Amino acid sequence: MPNMDISLKEMLAIDGAIGAAVVDYGSGMALGTLGGSKELDLQIAAAANTEVVKAKLRAMDALQLQDSIEDILITLSSQYHIIRPLAGRSGKGLFLYLALDRNRANLAMARHHLRVIEDKLEV
């Protein structure tokens, strides 16, 4: 089972990846990051996207949806941002965050690779 550092490297190896993080959405803290840039501060993205996850969980609760989030996709004019809460027991309360360059990324393949990485990740 790969550890977090290996998983972050695998995430950044996805075509078009510009930044990756494993985030604790209880605290909003990134447990690990790789990549990013002056335009994409992964620590700020981790904290801000924690609010996205919490808002969606509140909405699901208000709607009484007995389901789980597979992933949340945010499309910008130049980027894709994928938030994938970890489903396994050891990953409860964590999510994978991947920012992609929209011109270089294949969204379907990126989502597929994130599922594979999630399945192998041991936190």
pLDDT tens column, 75-94: 999 999 999 999 865 568 99
Domain residue extents for the chain: 4-120
> Average pLDDT of 101-117?
96
Predicted TM-score (pTM) of the model is 0.93
Give a three-class secondary structure readout of the chain.
CCCHHHHHHHHHCCCCEEEEEEEECCCCEEEEEEECCCCCCHHHHHHHHHHHHHHHHHHHHHCCCCCCCCCEEEECCCEEEEEEECCCHHHCCEEEEEEEECCCCCHHHHHHHHHHHHHHCCC
pLDDT per residue over 59-70, tens digit each?
A: 999 999 999 899
Find out if CATH 3.40.50.1820 is the number for domain 4-120: no
